[in-house]
Amino acid sequence: MESAMKGNIKIFAGNCNRELAEKVCKHLGVKLGECEIIKFSNDNIKVRILESVRGKDVYIVQSSSPPVNEYIMELLILIDAIKHAKADNITAVLPYYPYVRSDKKDEPRISITARLIADLLETAGANRVMTMNLHSPQIAGFFRIPVDHLLAGRLLCKYYREWGIDNCVVVAPDAGSAKRAGHYAINLGLPLAILDKRRDDDSEKAVIHHVIGEVKGKRALIFDDEIATGGSILETVKALESLGVTEIQACCVHGVLSGKAVERLKGSSLSKLVVTDTVALPPEKNLPTMVVISVAELFAQAIAYSHEGTSMSGLFGPV
Ligand code: R5P
């Protein structure tokens, strides 16, 4: 990858997940671009790019975690500053897309905020977007600019194949995740069980009503796109325990771990939690049972292919 990168490429990062941006740069053999992000006492943000980007192919890495709204503004202002500094191309690289779950109008008088974010990125000056495991793949269609939607499934399946999957069953924690979990099951050659999870309001309470599939006497691997409050996973764990599984592990792409998630997961019977590093994991979010798989190389490959104009289809599938 390195030799191809000596040319016109520049990578910058906001403050959300600089560690991942640094790792991406290492894989590409380039230095993270220098910029200054200043927050004034009135909460306004100022960005100054400290090196020339004129005529360059620029990638800005910014994920999403608290303070979510501040990090969105940081990204928009970075894009704006780089646009005004005459970069040729600007790609917003969002390993975890902000407001990703607000992707439909399923209640009266609510915003489709994931779409609003798409509009904001385009308005700020992004020419392309690169992201990973969107809550629903249709979000890519919210944009009029090209979107590269990467999937972490291949890395996660590789991990599980190496670790061993004897007597395992893949568990989808809700109907929404059934299709995705089905792909994991096919990829790993395992049976699938689907839980009927319902959320009656915006609270953290998710309730499991039914289970479709055989889980008794098996080791359960729960696959989900993200763990936020941990409510869904814990309800799934409770349901699986009552159905006589021998072991429960969970695997998700985005370890958001918001609210009381860490505390709740620590007290659960999960024997392992596999996450990626799309969302920064400070030490206080590190659980003893946690395995972190880095997506840095995959993003670096995607950036290299995008920069060179090489087909990326080999990087997308299958889950
Ligand atoms: C739901 O649609 C998602 O796939 C996840 O199950 C959900 O985002 C997890 O949220 P929480 O951990 O707060 O239950």
- Nearest CA to 249 out of 316, 167, 309 is that of 167
Catalytic status, residue 105: no
Q: Residue 273 is encoded by which pair of tokens?
A: 């939690």
Atom of ligand 1 nearest to the CA of 225: 4
Name the residue at shortest CA distance from atom 2 of ligand 1.
Answer: 176
DSSP labels for 210-256? EEES--TTSEEEEEEEEESSSHHHHHHHHHHHHTT-SEEEEEEEEE-
3-state secondary structure of 91: strand
pLDDT digits (tens, 9 = 90+) for 222-255: 999 999 999 989 999 999 999 999 999 999 999 9
Q: How far apart are the CA of 228 and the centre of ligand 1, in A?
A: 6
Q: How far is the CA of 174 from the centre of ligand 1 (A)?
A: 9
Distance from Cα 1 to the centre of ligand 1, integer Å:
35
3-state class of 289 per DSSP? coil
At residue 16, the pLDDT reads 98
Residue 103 has pLDDT above 80, yes or no: yes
The whole-number pLDDT of residue 203 equals 60
Query: So what's the pLDDT on residue 175?
Result: 87
Those residues whose C-beta lies under 8 Å from the C-beta of residue 247, and which sit 6 or more positions away, are 219, 220, 271
Mean pLDDT computed over 144-164:
95
Give the range with max mean pLDDT: 97-101, 195-199, 207-211: 97-101
Cβ–Cβ under 8 Å, residues 232 and 203 = no
Query: CB–CB of 241/248 below 8 Å?
Result: yes
Cis peptide before 108 (omega within 30 of 0): no
Task: Flag whether the pTM goes above 0.85.
Answer: yes
> Ligand 1: does its nearest atom lie under 6 Å from the Cβ of 206?
yes
Please indicate whether residue 228, judged by its CB atom, sits closer than 6 Å to ligand 1. yes
Pairing of strands 192-198, 168-172: parallel
C-alpha span between 151 and 147 (Å, rounded): 13
Mean pLDDT of 255-264: 95
